[in-house]
Amino acid sequence: MNPDDEFFLRIPLGDGANWLIEWLKANVSWLFDAFSWLMSLLIDGLTDTLLFLPALLMVLLFAVLALVFRSWRFGIATAVFFLFALAIDQWEPMMQTMAQVLVATFFAIIIAVPVGILAATNSTVSAFVRPVLDFMQTMPAFVYLIPAVTFFSIGVVPGIFSTIIFALPPGVRMTELGIRQVDSETVEAGESFGATPGQILRGIQLPLAVPTIMAGVNQVIMLSLSMAVIAGMVGADGSGKEVVQAINTLNLPQGVEAGVGVVLLAVYLDRLTAALGNPASYKGSLIAIAQKSMAQRATAGHT
């Protein structure tokens, strides 16, 4: 179709969006400033914390976390891979990216879980939320960067902003799914003993939805990571920035090294959060072993 055709109506959607962004910028800039201030504070703080200790000590710490929540095998693998990251000089960008991912994930989850709960308990909310989530998830991720830069200028904050928006949907979806999946007879049991809707939510629905919600959190983290790399385009520090620089200068060595850093970070966060969400299936974790020995001691004391 030809846009110049006189019968063809051209809707200026883009101009509309532009107008909306300008209006928001003119009228609620205090909100953006507050967001900007908070995000810079959190990310700088977290990045400094991660980089404060010697890298070798941090590697050990990550390995211990891996051991505590998953297995000794994962602990050793973590130590080996992170030492490797250190050896290819990707430690600092990796920690910067990790700080961004953690902050973005945190905010995405504190928004996503309540919205998911609301959608699970109210079909009208659910019907409204679903298309919005579809929109958020399918809109090409780069597009979010444009208004984000308008609002926050370049740097880490627009990166975080678009990361939160991009990573939010699976958190909402999985929370809703997890709560709706809870066996209706179990919920009825709560009701039949006179539990209030709040008691049922806290005591039955949420605890039973935890594995599904954690699968959602895992997804959120993975999306945050992919977006945090894209955020390198607008000047956020970290592995993303390295990748963007490598693209701009067609620097293959730099690109490979930065890319491997992202992969290592992704694998670590994925395996760790998977174990957090489903502790029962990781019997080799330090937590499981401690619980088992405690239970054995308790039974021994009982008999």
* Binding region for another protein (CB under 8 A): 183, 185-186, 188-196, 199, 203-204, 207-208, 295, 298-299, 302
Please tell me the distance from the alpha carbon of residue 242 to that of residue 249, in angstroms, as a whole number.
Answer: 11
Cβ proximity to another protein, 48 vs 183, nearer residue: 183
Please tell me the distance from the alpha carbon of residue 200 to that of residue 66, in angstroms, as a whole number.
Answer: 33
In the complex, least distance from residue 197 CB atom to another protein, rounded to whole angstroms: 9
Cβ proximity to another protein, 206 vs 267, nearer residue: 206
Candidates 76, 56, 57, 59; CA nearest to 67 is 76
In the complex, least distance from residue 202 CB atom to another protein, rounded to whole angstroms: 11
Count of all residues that appear for the chain in the document: 303
Cβ proximity to another protein, 196 vs 249, nearer residue: 196
End-to-end CA distance of the chain: 83
Angle at 175 between CA 147 and CA 289, to 5 degrees: 120
Structure tokens at 134: 């579809």
In the complex, least distance from residue 208 CB atom to another protein, rounded to whole angstroms: 7
Cβ proximity to another protein, 248 vs 303, nearer residue: 303
Cβ proximity to another protein, 114 vs 207, nearer residue: 207
In the complex, least distance from residue 303 CB atom to another protein, rounded to whole angstroms: 8
Torsions phi, psi of 191, nearest 5? -60, -40
Cβ proximity to another protein, 114 vs 203, nearer residue: 203
In the complex, least distance from residue 175 CB atom to another protein, rounded to whole angstroms: 17
Cβ proximity to another protein, 59 vs 204, nearer residue: 204
Please tell me the distance from the alpha carbon of residue 278 to that of residue 92, in angstroms, as a whole number.
Answer: 31
Structure tokens at 231: 């955020």
Please tell me the distance from the alpha carbon of residue 273 to that of residue 102, in angstroms, as a whole number.
Answer: 12
In the complex, least distance from residue 177 CB atom to another protein, rounded to whole angstroms: 18
In the complex, least distance from residue 209 CB atom to another protein, rounded to whole angstroms: 11
In the complex, least distance from residue 172 CB atom to another protein, rounded to whole angstroms: 23
Candidates 227, 123, 117; CA nearest to 173 is 117
Candidates 34, 149, 165, 171; CA nearest to 104 is 165
Provide the H-helix boundaries in 122-205. Answer: 123-138, 141-152, 156-181, 184-192, 197-200
Cβ proximity to another protein, 93 vs 190, nearer residue: 190
DSSP state of 2: -
Contact, 278 vs 67, CB < 8 A?
no
